[in-house]
Amino acid sequence: MTNNGMGIIANVTRMALIGAAAAMTLVGCMRTPEENAAIAARRAAPTAVVMTPTKGAPPTESGLAHYKDGYPSFGAPLTAANVQMSDEDAAGLQQQLTALTAKRNAGTISEAEYQRRVAEYRKLAAEHGADTLSEITN
């Protein structure tokens, strides 16, 4: 084959690859009606929230420090929202769990009792956050 023939084959191959890439790009741009609706919903303007007027009442005070004009000051150190677990509490819980594991390994506790206690601890872990949050908000 001559150089001219190789050039023609290279050009035809190049054009075929460009056409295939363009076709794949166009296919990727097509969306289903559900996708178009979801995109339109995301682009929609947010709905306005109408606040009730305070009729000249001062702003409600929070636990933050406030300036003289009533606006909060974030310069003061923030405190925890709830009492934190102390090292003694953590050590006590660690001892309870270690004792439960030791009883299971020694065979002094039945598998059913072990599973019951594990389920109790897991239930406590799952519900503790919601219970504490409800106590804080009330």
Specify the pLDDT at position 14. 92
pLDDT tens digits, residue range 82-114?
A: 667 778 888 888 888 888 888 888 888 888 888
- Give domain status of residue 51, yes or no: no
Is residue 51 predicted with pLDDT exceeding 70? no
pLDDT score at 81:
62
72 contacts 62 by C-beta, under 8 angstroms: yes
Reported as type and span, the H/E element at residue 66 is strand 65-66
pLDDT digits (tens, 9 = 90+) for 5-44: 888 888 999 999 999 888 877 776 677 888 888 888 888 8
Asked, for residue 95, whether it belongs to a domain, the answer is yes
How many CB atoms sit inside 10 A of residue 132's CB? 13
Residue 123: the pLDDT is 86
Please check whether residue 82 lies inside any domain of the structure. Answer: no
In contact, 132 and 82? CB cutoff 8 Å: yes
How far apart (Å, rounded) are the C-alpha atoms in residues 18 and 8?
15
Residue 77 lies in a domain: no
Q: Average pLDDT in the 58-74 region?
A: 69
What is the residue range of 124's domain? 88-137
The pLDDT of residue 18: 92
Q: Per the structure, how many domains does the chain have? A: 2
